[in-house]
């Protein structure tokens, strides 16, 4: 049961964005900027970083939401997403992404947990300064959002069939204020 009076029909962060449109706008813009840009980090990579931090933070809603978005970008490859959750070091992903997930995991523990060697390893695997910057910012942002979602006890649907439908909406339309205005997709 959410701690504040939010729309019980909207799960997770969507209820909080609808509750506070004035904070929803910058949150949506930040998500769009961090997760929807595709440069040397793909949108799938960015979602995997956010999903992994959410997994480490035990934020059920964000872990599964962003895992499903990554699955969409990975053409349905659920096994890859599950492998990253289980042990990214053994997952069939690039060494560069593994080194960035290591940095993200350190950020999740605390910013000062990131050591010069972590950065050196990422650069040795081909990560640019921009990749490292974005990884740290994505990880830090997800820590904040996970605490926002769980700190107000938002509803996290246990019916996993709703997550792929919502993920498809995000992949097609992006992040932004519209995400709390559109109804939750329903399974057929």
Contact predicate 122/130, CB 8 Å: no
pLDDT attached to residue 146: 98
How far the first Cα of the chain sits from its last, in Å, is 26
- Taking the whole predicted model, whether its pTM rises above 0.75 is answered as yes
157/126 Cα distance (integer angstroms): 38
The segments of the chain whose pLDDT lies below 70 read 177-188
pLDDT attached to residue 11: 92
Query: Among 131, 126, 74, which Cα is nearest to 96's?
Result: 126
pLDDT attached to residue 4: 97
pLDDT attached to residue 69: 98
Residue 102 tokens read as: 């290591």
Query: Among 80, 115, 94, which Cα is nearest to 40's?
Result: 94
pLDDT attached to residue 38: 83
pLDDT attached to residue 130: 97
Query: Among 25, 68, 67, 75, which Cα is nearest to 50's?
Result: 67
Q: Which fold has domain 12-18+26-171?
A: AhpD-like (1.20.1290)
Angle between helices 95-109 and 43-56 (to 10 degrees): 40
């Amino acid at each position: 049961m959410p701690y504040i009076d939010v729309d019980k029909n909207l799960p997770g962060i969507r209820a909080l964005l609808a509750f506070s449109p004035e904070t929803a706008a910058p949150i949506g813009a930040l998500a769009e900027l961090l997760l929807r840009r595709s440069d040397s980090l793909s949108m799938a990579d960015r979602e995997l970083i956010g999903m992994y931090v959410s997994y480490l933070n035990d934020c059920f809603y964000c872990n599964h939401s962003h895992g499903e978005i990554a699955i969409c970008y990975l053409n349905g490859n659920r096994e890859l997403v599950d492998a990253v959750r289980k042990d990214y070091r053994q997952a069939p992903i690039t060494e560069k992404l593994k080194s960035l997930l290591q940095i993200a995991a350190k950020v999740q523990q605390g910013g000062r947990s990131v050591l010069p060697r972590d950065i050196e390893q990422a650069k040795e695997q081909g990560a640019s300064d921009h990749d490292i910057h974005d990884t740290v910012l994505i990880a830090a942002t997800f820590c904040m959002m996970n605490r926002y979602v769980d700190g107000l006890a938002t509803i996290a649907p246990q019916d996993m069939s709703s997550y792929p439908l919502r993920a498809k909406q995000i992949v097609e339309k992006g992040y932004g204020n519209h995400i709390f205005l559109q109804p939750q997709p329903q399974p057929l």
